[in-house]
Structure 1
Amino acid sequence: MSVTKAKMQKLRGEIAFMKENYPGLKPNFSAMSKEIGISRQTIAKVWKDPTSPSKPRQKRKSKFDPYYQEIREKFEIQSTTIKAVFQYMKARYPEVFTSYDSFKSYVRANKLTEVREEYLKSHVR
């Protein structure tokens, strides 16, 4: 289950309410799990220490990261498409650029298409 910030805030609010209004009573973690959508183990962990911060997630490195600058430069060229940049990069580095879908996801995650749009805005015809 994925735990969103909203779910964790709701959980911490409910636990704070229960501890304040019903001291000494332990809630049914399974019932709370079904209600909120968080695993019962996570609810038990928050019950023991409601102030503990969530672990920050580390950004996963992509196989395209070493080529970021080159990809960015290609998107600065007028009227460049994701497919065109992928084909160019695949011709230069065929062992790295094997999947168009993963490249497209990388481009969108790094907002590289916005670079092209900014470039086009600044160069009005």
Structure 2
Amino acid sequence: MNSWIKGMAAVGGSLLTLLYGGWSELLTALCVFMTVDFITGWVAAGMAGKLSSNVGFKGIARKMSILLIVALGHLMDGVLGTQNELFESACIYFYLANEALSIIENTGRMGLPIPDVLKKAIAVISEKAEKEEER
């Protein structure tokens, strides 16, 4: 059993390295944003009495699709020989901004006020995403 777990960890680590070139702070931020978005969406739907396992499944499928697109961005960087993970970073910045906006929308549906500093931080992420797309 212990060997099986070690083998699965090795396969998982190898797959992550292949798809993302290792783990970065940007990937960590994206995963945290996606998790917070899912949780806030779930809570907002529950508060509105519209909680649905079918909608939740679609949300998880969308999150997995985001990770696949980011992996494609990383692979494009490798094929094209781009510096500083250009395509992968552009994908992550785009989805970070998208997830942040969704989180704000979800918390707004829950009746929570949004701090101005958070709104400004999201604007900065959006600007970075636009700059990465222009490159």
TM-score by length of 1: 0.24
By percentage of residues, which structure has more helix?
2
The structure number with the bigger radius of gyration is 1
Q: Which has the higher contact order (CA 8 A, sep 6+)?
A: 2
TM-score by length of 2: 0.23
